[in-house]
Amino acid sequence: MGSTYTMIFCSLLLGSDGTVPPNPQGQLPAVQQVPFVHTQPTVPLQPAMPMQTAPITAPPVAVPTTNARQARFTNGVSMPTRSNRAVVPASESAVLMSLTTEQRDAAGTIMRDSDGNPIMVPLTLGMTVFQGQVLGKLNDRALHSILRTNQAQLEVAKAERDKKLEVILAAHGVQVAYAELDMMLTATKQIANAYSQQEIRRATLARTQAEVNLELQKYNIEEVKTREVIVAESKVEQTEDQIELRQLVTPIEGMIVKINATEGEWLQEGHKVLEIMRLDTLWVQVFANVKEYERSDLDGKQAVVQLTLPNGRTETFRGTVVFCDLQVDGSDRFEVLIEVQNRRAGNFWLFQPGRKDVEVLITL
């Protein structure tokens, strides 16, 4: 509508040819008053549309990136830790009777036959054994004979301790003594001089003796016999301990790597019969350059160790830096040891000592 008003105003000021008419006084022509005429626009107006406000979107949150440094080594060497090897010695000089043990599955469960008896197998190199497992024994026949004797003596001592006949008889004697004395005293009251004073004193003494005998029998059972049982039990336990000492027991879980004796061989005390290597933890050795890392950069830090298996599959293990050597070699390097938690696949450990192609990534 505003554009229509503008056109009308301009047509009043200009001539038909579009020029301003001349004015003798050199002034602008006076504006002619014309009545207001409401003219409809040539283009119909569209109804006003409500204002659309664009939604405000927050900028995407950036995922923070870690600035942690990482040390990468590709020439790691796996090895057993210093505490990962145990020796099973002969506890005393004796003949080696057997090098056999019960067969176990990967979880350590003892395998049994149809009758429920453990299946016994001979020891072999590379066999996985579990902590506390009996791997053989020295000659203990004489000790078993002594054990049977001590066990028999223990049963006799228990039987003596549990006997009640002596106590029952002693208690009955007390009752009889009381009854006799009571009878004498009652009769003396009814009939003068029915019993002499000497007879009454003897009856009184008999009653006292019966009471003492009862207490003596109780003490004999509760104290003496009980102590005899304790002594017999101690002898049995000592013999059992001696038999147990003649067993060859592994102190750790691991793999048999050496067998240094044969069955029937006479062994001196301390002879190293078996050697067990613990494989649930291993060390991986790498060398760090002093120009790149300080000991404080690596010591105690977490590590990821990657091992490539023969079939092309890779296994990843977690570890911790447990040692950084103070000494530096001729190549400006110092030794770093990473302790790794090993895993088993069935009866075999995935990580074995002696691997020289181990990759290590240490988070600094």
- The pLDDT score that the predictor gives to residue 16 is 47
List 100's β-bridge partners, or say none: 122
The Cα–Cα gap between 200 and 23 comes to 181
Q: How far apart are CA 10 and CA 32, in angstroms?
A: 11
Say how far apart CA 206 and CA 175 lie, in whole Å.
11
Task: With cut-offs at 50, 70 and 90, classify the pLDDT of residue 5.
Answer: very low
Strongest mean pLDDT among 21-35, 61-75, 175-189, 293-307: 293-307
pLDDT of residue 165: 62
Average pLDDT for 289-311? 91
What amino acid is encoded at 32 in this protein? Q
Statement: 85-139+246-276 belongs to CATH 2.40.50.100: yes
The token duo for 120 is 């016994």
**pLDDT, average across residues 312-328:** 92
Mean pLDDT on 58-69: 45
Architecture field, domain 71-76+279-363: Beta Barrel (2.40)
What integer is the mean pLDDT of 182-197?
Answer: 83
> Which residues face 362 on adjacent strands?
71, 303
281's CB contacts (< 8 A; 6+ apart) are: 81, 84, 339, 340, 341, 342
Q: Where in the chain is the domain with CATH 2.40.30.170?
A: 71-76+279-363
Q: H or E stretch including 120? A: strand 120-122
Percentage of residues of the chain with pLDDT beyond 90? 45
What pLDDT is recorded for position 49?
Answer: 46
Note whether 246 and 94 are within 8 A (CB). yes
Domain ranges in the chain with CATH number 2.40.50.100: 85-139+246-276
pLDDT of residue 243: 94
- Mean pLDDT for the chain overall: 81
CB distance 99 to 121 below 8 Å: no
297-to-68, 71, 121, 288, 331 alpha-carbon distances in Å: 12, 9, 50, 11, 19
Task: Check: CB of residue 136 under 8 Å from CB of residue 100.
Answer: yes
CA distance 135 to 258: 13
pLDDT at 152: 93
CA distance 264 to 295: 53
Q: In the predicted model, is pLDDT for residue 68 greater than 70?
A: no
Model pTM score: 0.57
Residue 305, strand partner residues: 317, 360
Residue with tokens 């505490």: 83
Instruction: Work out the angle at residue 309's Cα, subtended by the Cα atoms of residues 306 and 312, and round it to the nearest 5 degrees.
Output: 105
Range in 9-18, 191-200, 309-318 with the lowest mean pLDDT: 9-18
State the Cα–Cα distance between residues 190 and 306, nearest whole angstrom.
110
**Is 60 exceeded by the pLDDT of residue 20?**
no
Q: pLDDT digit string (tens) for 201-220?
A: 888 888 888 888 777 777 77
pLDDT tens profile 174-183:
888 888 888 8
Contact between 41 and 1 under an 8 Å Cβ cutoff? The reply is: yes
pLDDT value at position 93? 93
- Residues linked to residue 277 through DSSP beta bridges, in sequence order: 85, 255
Q: Which range is least confidently modeled, 109-113, 160-164, 248-252, 302-306?
A: 160-164
Q: What is the pLDDT of residue 67?
A: 54
**From the CA atom positions of the chain, what is the Rg in Å?**
54
| Distance, CA of 76 to CA of 361 (rounded, Å) | 10
